[in-house]
Structure 1
Amino acid sequence: MQQRYTLDHWEDRSGHRLTWKFGYRGTAGEFGRIEVVYPSKRHGDRHVTEVSGDTVPATSFGGWAHGRKPSLHLGQLSVGGAGIRLKRNRWAQTRSGRALRMRVAGREYRYLATSRRHRDRALIRDGVEVRTTRHGSGARKKAIFTVLGPADGTDLALAAVMVGVNTRNLTRGGAVRAFFNRSLDWLEVFQ
């Protein structure tokens, strides 16, 4: 069983630039309306991405700000108000080894890069896989979810919130770029 859902990109650039919001929204079949908002909140150098919808649990991911999105650095995930512990091996050489691991509602999940491109990811649990791809630019930007297996609202919420997170560190090349970017940010602090 394979299902495909598309969420369209949206922007709200009203007011001061620190209050601008971005994200994806749309209808995902029987799951109903889903909306991803980033940054929904800002706390100093931390940004928060939130997911809400008709049948998906309220889900949020907060982490060190990287552009408009939170990064995996110091990341905190919450599903339905419950904090979720995140694990990853940042020194692993393979994409599978670098996967973000989490346990939600008694189920083990892995979120990993499926290609060298930073737009292709997959959320995997026993018997279910939700592949995400982002493509387009500007007003034509979209997030496409391909669901394999009997997924539920929690699966879709987790995949959707990660679309609003900078996950470049899940590939070696992205981790190297992130390291140099953070190093340059720290150098600016001392000038």
Structure 2
Amino acid sequence: MHTTVTPFTLRPWREGTGYGRRAGWRGTSAEFGEVTVEAPLRQTVPETVVSELRGGLLPEASYETRGVHADLVRLPTLNRATLRLGGALVVMERNRFGVTARQRGLRLRYGGDDYRLWARDRRSWTLVRRADAEDPGVRVTVRGRGRLGGRRLEVAVTGRALATDLSLALVFAGVDRAALTRGGAVRAALSRVTLFWAETRA
């Protein structure tokens, strides 16, 4: 069901210590209830890091990165990643060489709908569901604000949203989105060149 969404805020949360430590973002939408992003989940499989969104009326979403690099990062990355929504696979594509933020953004496809997600900066991002003949589409904007103990994510929606729209947008609170930014894309390109050079010298 398409719903007008009142702006709301996610704030950091943390529970436990050591191996039992859990952390992420949490807030409440007037229309969809409590939203929890756990980032990352406790690691149970080597070389795998997972973040998860759940709660309220939103379908569960999980974002998983696999590979040797997964043991070296705090959050799932855009490399070798799998996104699932309500147990179904979300198709993801990315243009690593895009010049603008939108060109570098992720293209997502789920349930016949096309989405584009791009980063405004390291703390803020936008998800758009494209309009079609039956629906004018929607835009979910997430802006990171504050520092240290005052950190928060302000969520605003333009248009009438589906629960799936919010799940897809907010699970990225638990993802390392740096490669979508200009600086992150440059660093990633330099890293690829360095790795290629090292392999050719081996």
Do the structures match in fold with TM over 0.5?
Answer: yes
The residue aligned with 1:164 is 174
1:31 aligns with 2:48: no
* Shift of residue 2, structure 1, vs aligned partner: 6.8
SS in 2 for 1:85: strand
* Count of matched residue positions in the alignment of Structure 1 and Structure 2: 181
Give the deviation of 1:175 after TM superposition. Answer: 1.9
Instruction: Confirm or deny: 8 A CA contact 1:130 1:146 kept in the other structure.
Output: yes
Q: Note if contact 2:5-2:31 (Cα within 8 Å) is conserved in structure 1.
A: no
Distance 1:8 1:140 in 2: 8
Q: CA deviation at 1:41?
A: 4.0
Shift of 1:136: 2.3
Match of residue 9 from structure 2: 6
SS at match of 2:127: strand
Aligned to 2:109: 103
Residue 55, structure 1, aligned to residue 77, structure 2:
no
Higher mean C-alpha deviation, range 161-170 or range 61-70: 61-70
What CA deviation, in whole Å up to 9, does each residue of 1:13-57 have, x standing for no partner?
Answer: 4133xx432211111111111100011142323211100011000
Partner of 1:141: 151
Q: Which residue of 2 aligns with 1:129?
A: 139
- The 1-side partners of 2:46 and 2:26 are apart by 26
Mapped to 1, the partners of 2:5 and 2:53 lie a distance apart of 23
Deviations 1:85-108 (A, max 9, x none): 210110111111111011112110
1:87 aligns with 2:89: no
Equivalent AA in structure 2 for residue 50 of structure 1? E
Q: Which has the larger radius of gyration?
A: 2
Match of 1:46 in 2: 48
The answer to whether the 8 Å contact 1:41/1:49 transfers is no
Q: Mind listing any 5+ residue stretches in structure 1 that lack a counterpart?
A: none
Deviation at 1:73, TM superposition (A): 0.6
Give the percent of matched residue pairs that are identical in Structure 1 and Structure 2. Answer: 37
Paired residue secondary structure (1:68): coil
Tell me, in whole angstroms, the C-alpha distance in 1 between the residues paired with 2:58 and 2:126: 18
State the Cα distance separating 1:154 from its structure 2 match.
0.6
- How far did 1:135 drift? 2.2
2-side partners of 1:123 and 1:87: how far apart? 14
Unaligned runs of 5+ in 2: 132-136
Q: Following the alignment from structure 1 to structure 2, what is the Cα–Cα distance between the partners of residues 102 and 6?
A: 24
For 2:87 and 2:111, locate their aligned partners in 1 and report how far apart those are by CA, in whole Å: 12
| TM-score normalised by L of structure 2 | 0.81
Match of 1:73 among 70, 79, 84: 79
1:133 CA drift (Å) = 1.1
Cα contact 1:31–1:54 (8 A) shared by 2: yes
CA contact (8 A) 2:5 2:161 kept: no
Change (3 A) 1:73 1:154: same
Kept in 1, the 8 Å contact 2:59–2:86? The answer is yes
Q: TM-score scaled to structure 1, two decimals?
A: 0.85
Higher alpha-carbon deviation: 63-72 or 32-41: 63-72
Larger mean CA deviation between 60-69 and 90-99 belongs to 60-69
